[in-house]
Structure 1
């Protein structure tokens, strides 16, 4: 399976983050279905022309987030918990929206707070 995840070498975003976020986006959107086998670390690194350690770090972070699972020599696959992760994130966002609305914050203020929290979580 050929997987193209765009990596912009001139971007200020580190390559591992570009790979991680690109795959996470595809998993969360359903473009990569549960059970889809991902390319090997070396295979994807070669395809993108970046170091295998870069891909390994992205895969590790995706695994920690529950979006992929590694099955030893069988490889890495889109995890079923990815569906659960997305559902939990939606629920958290709905709760956050209700709390900020109850506090009288504008949508712009609530988004600014959420963006700041996401930057700190990196």
Structure 2
């Protein structure tokens, strides 16, 4: 289910990280699902083990997966932590915009511009 595009300008570890997050968000991967070992996934995808290990480390830092020692890596039981972090950041932005006296429409415009939405 995970595929790396060698022609992409996006680094392989980031492609892998993004695909795992997308699979968790879509429900394709559920809390408690076991991920392949770093070596197995690296071999399957034709990547260096360090590349997969980096993706796993970043996914763990983002609380999308958790590593249970010798038992392996699993989709985190806390669900999609990325969504949670995004909501916290949005709330902090909204609170700061209100403190600055920025109208909601203006704050929305600033966020849209930052996201490249016109």
TM-score bracket for this pair, using the shorter chain length: 0.7 to 0.9
How many residues are paired up?
A: 112
The TM-score, its normalising length taken from structure 2, stands at 0.78
Counterpart position of 1:60: 57
Taking the aligned partners of 1:85 and 1:8, their CA distance within structure 2 comes to 23
Contact 2:64/2:81 (<8 A) preserved: no
Counterpart position of 1:90: 87
Question: Radius of gyration: which is bigger?
Answer: 2
Counterpart position of 1:77: 74
Moved more, 68-77 or 103-112: 103-112
**Residues 29 and 91 of structure 1: CA distance in aligned 2, closer, same or farther (over 3 Å):** farther
* Structure 2: 5+ residue stretches without partners: none
Taking the aligned partners of 1:10 and 1:84, their CA distance within structure 2 comes to 29
Q: Shift in Å at residue 106 of structure 1? A: 7.1
The TM-score, its normalising length taken from structure 1, stands at 0.76
Taking the aligned partners of 1:97 and 1:29, their CA distance within structure 2 comes to 27
- Is 1:28 aligned with 2:13? no
* Structure 1: 5+ residue stretches without partners: 116-122
How large is the Cα RMSD of the aligned pairs? 2.5
Q: Shift in Å at residue 30 of structure 1? A: 2.2
Taking the aligned partners of 1:74 and 1:31, their CA distance within structure 2 comes to 21
Taking the aligned partners of 1:61 and 1:88, their CA distance within structure 2 comes to 14
Taking the aligned partners of 1:93 and 1:29, their CA distance within structure 2 comes to 22
Counterpart position of 1:12: 9
Q: Shift in Å at residue 31 of structure 1? A: 1.8
